[in-house]
Amino acid sequence: MEHRNSTNTLVVTDENFEQEVLQSDIPVLVDFWADWCGPCKIVGPTIDALASEYYGRVKVAKVNVDDNWTSTRYGIRSIPTVILFSDGNIKNTYVGVQPKREYEDGLNALLH
């Protein structure tokens, strides 16, 4: 079952990562973050905006690294890290605060 917050961002956990991200039939942008992370708070509104703007064409998900081990599976050592998945494969990885255009360019390349 999908759990979306008020911004259309999908909340992903270890339990549903495979289904929601790796088995998705549309691209998925995953934000690995934590409550205590200052740069994550800077990136958060951008991720939320992308979730609304690309709703229905791309899933935008958030994984809290403090609550889920999935981040270790992908070797994430710095947050925020945003990974763009398509067909279960990593297509792009963004580490640290990036301009919105960076994410848009990666998404648009997969959609066109």
DSSP string, 3-64: -B-TTS-EE--TTTHIIIIIT-SS-EEEEEE-TT-HHHHHHHHHHHHHHHHTTTTSEEEEEE
Strands 59-64 and 28-33: parallel
| Cβ contact 80:98 at 8 Å | no
Judge whether 15 counts as a catalytic residue: no
Choosing from 11, 26, 34, 37, the catalytic residue is 37
Choice among 40, 60, 84, 107 that is catalytic: 40
- Residues 77, 5: Cα–Cα separation, whole Å: 26
Active site residue 40: yes
Active-site residues, by number, are 37, 40
